[in-house]
């Protein structure tokens, strides 16, 4: 159906699918593989719950999610990874620019060690936890934040400020 309407990208692994519909890491990995086989580009979402963040398990969670996804990817040029801390989606909370940078940098290191240094340099890792016109500019200054996955703010007039945040 996605291809029938002319779309070229699909978002998989979003927190609502994981936490509301109970989609586990393995199912998301299989969906990623299927979407890629069907010629779609994939934005794969990863992120931790508030209790996982507070108990110091952020990297454990996002590395586990990324590992499962990576087993199903042959062509990384068709992939974008979206770090979306679940505790920051729809709550009005957002990771500080430093928190976002730290996780993105750790993900690049994970890719370097587990996939390849070239993929670590080229994969787009975007941030998607309550991005707004107020925080986009500072988030965009972080070295390893390659862009944003924007939810509700995309429906507001100030969305143009988010689009222009890196300029």
* Average pLDDT value over all residues in the chain: 94
Three-state helix/strand/coil letters over 38-66 = CCCEEEEEECCCHHHHHCCCHHHHHHHHH
Q: Is 14 an annotated catalytic residue?
A: yes
Q: Residue 88 — pLDDT band, cuts 50, 70, 90?
A: confident
User: Could you state, in order of their start, the residue ranges of all structural domains in the chain?
Assistant: 9-163
Q: Is 34 a catalytic residue?
A: no
Per-residue pLDDT of 126-157, as tens digits, reads 999 889 899 999 999 999 999 999 988 899 99
Residue 82 and residue 46 in contact, taking contact as beta carbons nearer than 8 Å? yes
Catalytic residue, chosen from 33, 34, 60, 84, is 84
In degrees, to the nearest 5, what angle opens at C-alpha 73 toward C-alphas 144 and 69? Answer: 70
CATH class held by domain 9-163: alpha beta
pLDDT at 91 over 90: no
Q: What is the C-alpha to C-alpha distance for residues 133 and 162, in angstroms, rounded to an integer?
A: 5
Number of other residues whose CB lies within 10 A of the CB of residue 37: 10
């Amino acid at each position: 159906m996605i291809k029938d309407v002319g779309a070229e990208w699909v978002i998989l692994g979003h927190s609502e699918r994981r936490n509301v519909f109970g989609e586990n890491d393995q199912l998301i990995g299989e969906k990623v593989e299927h979407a890629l086989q069907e010629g779609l580009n994939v934005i794969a979402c990863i992120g931790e719950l508030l209790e996982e963040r507070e108990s110091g398990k952020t990297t454990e969670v996002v590395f586990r999610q990324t590992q499962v996804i990576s087993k199903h990817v042959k062509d990384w040029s068709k992939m974008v990874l979206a770090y979306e801390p679940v505790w920051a989606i729809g709550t009005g909370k957002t990771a500080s620019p430093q928190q976002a940078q730290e996780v993105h940098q750790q993900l690049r290191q994970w890719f370097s060690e587990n996939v390849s240094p070239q993929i670590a340099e080229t994969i787009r890792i975007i941030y998607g936890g309550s991005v707004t016109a107020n925080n986009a500019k500072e988030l965009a200054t972080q070295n390893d934040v390659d862009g944003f996955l924007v939810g509700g703010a995309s429906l507001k007039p100030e969305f143009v400020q988010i689009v222009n945040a890196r300029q």
